[in-house]
Structure 1
Amino acid sequence: MGPEFSEFSKLKNIEAIFGKLIINGTQLENFKFFENLKFVASFDALKPAILVENNLNLKDIQFPKLERVGIIERVIFNNNSELISTKPEFCERFKKSLKWEFDELLIDKNSCQEFRDFQFAENPKINDLGGLRNLSSIACMNINIWDNSKMKFWNLLKLKTIKYPKNVYTNKNLKIFAFDLDPEFCINSKEMEFFMSNRKLDLDYLDGKYCQLSELDSEVCLIPEVQCKHFLGNLEIGPEFSDFSILKNVEVILGNLIIDGTQLETFEFFENLKFVASLDKSKPPILVENNMNLKDIQFPKLENLTSTNPNSTKFEIYISSESPEFCITIEEMEMLLKIENSDIDHIFGKYCKPEFSETLCKKPEEKCTGYFGDLTISKYSDLNNLEFLEIIYGSLTIKETNFKNLNFLKNLKFVAQMDHKPAIIIQDNPNLVNATFPSLKVIIEFLNLRN
């Protein structure tokens, strides 16, 4: 888009640009004519996805509805008006308007990503972070603790808050990188409990083991007992385990939970379990198998799990049963779907027959946020009530329509079907130019596109 371009009214309906956006040498003052632009997606690694330069009258750099820049997440403003160059608030306006973190935003070669990582690296003689033992809060982009060959522990027992700086707007989790430390490096149980309680931390790159118990770990036990709230080690429940009452107070398992070969029907005895934190790279945090009578897989208060497998950014949950009566309730599936970074493609079973309500339906209706069954949308479908849908417990098929986009499913977050077929099929829609689901987070099984 250059000085000769004048038909800006033709751009008002554009929602996605699959390529680069270049605005160069115009007399524009703002970009309000891009009133519906949401996505710019470029694969050119050598150039920014958005390049705006030599627009000397430019007074505002915001795109009214822009949400995400990718796949190359670089935006450059260069040699525009003096106003843009000298006012730092333009950085914040642009970043705040987006719903997704991007890699680089430059205004006249000055980075708007002024925030840095918390980094402690390449210190071969440091044993711990004891000099920071009173540290209570960290605001940064990532935490990098690596290549400290003598570091055996952190000693950050007073740390209460880890978060992004207040002017960073992102839906990504803050990552903790910890590797190439002393072979005996270990995580204190209180440190891990703090990490687990923070739902916005990504622990996939945390390499270590748990420290041996100390006087600070008075609430931690190695053998299950009635008053035990924090269990250290792998908790294995097999056919010989019988006294489930001693597990009712357990809140945290610092290891793996394995339930194998029991006669259990439910896990109700884990009435207070909140976190399962595994540092074992070879196993899933929770493994439930060979329990022939199992009818319910819900852990009443489970909030978070973690596993530090460096080959995966997700942790896997395996659940299966040989019982023909075994089924998963929609409440259980919803709980599993909402656990961040979970991979639940290894759950084998069927859905239990649900009780339908105002929010759970088998025909899309107003206020219906959950749909049970396979949903097929054609050119004859009524789209008015689909905007309320958030979860489909089954598959979604969109075929033989004249749709240009899928914005009528603007609130759809999860599609979870258990029949080992495509969860989403989008087929024979000749006018479709944008197959993005604005809010979609998780698909169980896979996506099939043919248009």
Structure 2
Amino acid sequence: MKILISLIFLKLSLVSDSNKLDVFGGMNHYMKFLEENCEPHCIFPESSLASYNLDLFPTNCSTVCADILIDERSNLSEYQLSHAFQNMKHLIGSLAVMSTDFKSGTFLASLESVECSTKSRLKPPVDIIENIYNPNAFTNVIKIQIEANLHEDFCITTQEMQTFITTEFASLNCRPCKICENNVNMCNDSLENLLDNCTHVNGNVMIGPENEHLVSKLKIVETIYGSLIIRSTNLTHIAFLENLKHILTFNYSVSIIIENNPQFSNLTFPNLKRIYTNSLLTAIMLNNNSDILSPNFKNCDLIHAQFKYLKTKSISLDENTCEAIQRSANNTLEGKLANHPSLGIMGFLNLIIILGAL
């Protein structure tokens, strides 16, 4: 199986661990949970959906409680599933679709939400899958994973990707992720040739001494599907990226590279909400810029405050990870405290102030 979208929904916060099926302590507790959330006639008790039990599915219910498994043994067509699910807007339970001959998920067109106390999965047969339909059904997602060997025409639209990246998921693993090129306001050009109405850039945005005078062209860009690279310029800040909200890097590269800019001193993004990279090491790399951005505890703290979802080891200042910088700062503090066991509160606060300047 080549594509896996694992979903954990916010309903989890409303269901205690003692109510989860894997720690229920018995099926009776699980059935009680279902009965509290669905009308009795809207509960599908079977563990899998197939041609032999399709007539038992509550086709007239808008909210259905079920753990639905659809696989190669189900012997169901997309048309049959579309008819069965046409009134289902909310699913409480779980959903797994795997090892089928389906070309899309259009039979889930009516589905608006999935709420569950366990993980839900969508595993289409990606050697023939052509599209992901109705991504709004997968809101409140914790983890999304799309893996290799997709159909050659498989791509994700900017609308679908926006649904994924604006949801509070813990991680997005996309290998590979191909963005559909027929999107409105999608550009594939260099900064020199960038159109004035471009809000999505498919490819790296590279700013250097030859084109830094054109950065105003980027003021309406909202998403970069690639890396942001600012190298060897006289720029001092990135305020010109006033509408940039997302940087999504899918080719195992660093999302933000800013290096050899002697005047660059302010890394504050006005509206950046999230960056993503499938690089296993670094997401943000700053090298040889203004002394104001030197590798110290304070700068790491300021940068990490903008990207709290990133691990400190994925942020690098002059080839030092913020994880290592913070560890060194903590060791310095511990050493000073060990050498001065009778240090008063004012002395301790002075050490904290000194530490911020390290």
Tell whether the structures are fold-level matches, with TM greater than 0.5. Answer: yes
Letter in 2 for 1:176: I
Residues 120-269 of structure 1 aligned to structure 2 (within 5 Å): 120-123=97-100, 125-140=101-116, 141-145=119-123, 147-156=125-134, 159=136, 162-163=139-140, 174-179=142-147, 180-205=149-174, 207-213=176-182, 217-223=183-189, 224-241=194-211, 242-269=213-240
Q: Secondary structure at the match of 1:263?
A: coil
How many percent of aligned residue pairs carry the same amino acid? 21
Residues 45-444 of structure 1 aligned to structure 2 (within 5 Å): 93-95=16-18, 104-108=22-26, 117-123=94-100, 125-140=101-116, 141-145=119-123, 147-156=125-134, 159=136, 162-163=139-140, 174-179=142-147, 180-205=149-174, 207-213=176-182, 217-223=183-189, 224-241=194-211, 242-281=213-252, 283-309=253-279, 312=280, 316-324=283-291, 326-327=293-294, 330=299, 332-340=302-310, 343-348=313-318, 375-376=333-334, 377=337, 380=342
Letter in 2 for 1:228: C
Distance 1:218 1:200, change over 3 A: same
- Can you list the C-alpha shifts for 1:7-27, whole angstroms capped at 9, x where unaligned? xxxxxxxxxxxxxxxxxxxxx
Letter in 2 for 1:199: E
Q: CA deviation at 1:152?
A: 2.9
Q: CA deviation at 1:136?
A: 3.1
The answer for the alignment partner of 1:34 in structure 2 is none
Distance 1:418 1:277 in 2: 33
Q: Secondary structure at the match of 2:201?
A: strand
Q: CA deviation at 1:262?
A: 1.8
Measured on the aligned residues, the alpha-carbon RMSD in Å equals: 4.2
CA contact (8 A) 1:374 1:393 kept: no
Distance 2:237 2:16 in 1: 51
Distance 1:161 1:146 in 2: 15
Letter in 1 for 2:180: C
Q: Secondary structure at the match of 2:248?
A: strand
CA contact (8 A) 2:245 2:273 kept: yes
- Can you list the C-alpha shifts for 1:260-313, whole angstroms capped at 9, x where unaligned? 2222111111112111112212x112222222322122222211011234xx3x
Letter in 1 for 2:115: A
The answer for the alignment partner of 1:24 in structure 2 is none
Q: CA deviation at 1:111?
A: 8.4
- Bigger share in strand: 1
Distance 2:132 2:354 in 1: 46
Letter in 2 for 1:185: F
With the length of structure 1 as denominator, give the TM-score of the two structures. 0.48
- Bigger share in helix: 2
Distance 1:104 1:251, change over 3 A: same
Distance 1:394 1:153 in 2: 55
Q: CA deviation at 1:210?
A: 1.0
Aligned residues: 261
Distance 1:109 1:302 in 2: 46
Distance 1:268 1:162, change over 3 A: same
Unaligned runs of 5+ in 1: 1-90, 97-101, 165-173, 351-370, 387-391, 396-416, 420-451
- Can you list the C-alpha shifts for 1:207-259, whole angstroms capped at 9, x where unaligned? 4211122xxx3233334333322222221112211211111111211222222
Q: Secondary structure at the match of 1:246?
A: helix
Unaligned runs of 5+ in 2: 1-13, 34-66, 68-91, 321-328
CA contact (8 A) 2:186 2:202 kept: yes
CA contact (8 A) 1:317 1:343 kept: no
Distance 1:258 1:139, change over 3 A: farther
Residues 21-60 of structure 1 aligned to structure 2 (within 5 Å): none
Q: CA deviation at 1:346?
A: 1.7
CA contact (8 A) 2:204 2:227 kept: yes
With the length of structure 2 as denominator, give the TM-score of the two structures. 0.59
Q: Kindly indicate whether structure 1 or structure 2 has the higher relative contact order, using CA contacts under 8 Å at least 6 residues apart.
A: 2
Q: Secondary structure at the match of 1:204?
A: strand
Distance 2:21 2:260 in 1: 46
Q: Secondary structure at the match of 1:226?
A: coil
Q: Secondary structure at the match of 1:296?
A: coil
CA contact (8 A) 2:144 2:169 kept: no
**Aligned structure 1 segments of 4 or more residues deviating by more than 6 angstroms:** 109-115, 392-395
Distance 1:382 1:119 in 2: 60
Q: CA deviation at 1:333?
A: 2.3
Distance 2:111 2:354 in 1: 48
- Can you list the C-alpha shifts for 1:47-67, whole angstroms capped at 9, x where unaligned? xxxxxxxxxxxxxxxxxxxxx
CA contact (8 A) 2:248 2:255 kept: yes
CA contact (8 A) 1:235 1:255 kept: yes
CA contact (8 A) 1:290 1:320 kept: yes
Distance 1:194 1:142 in 2: 18
Distance 2:120 2:176 in 1: 16
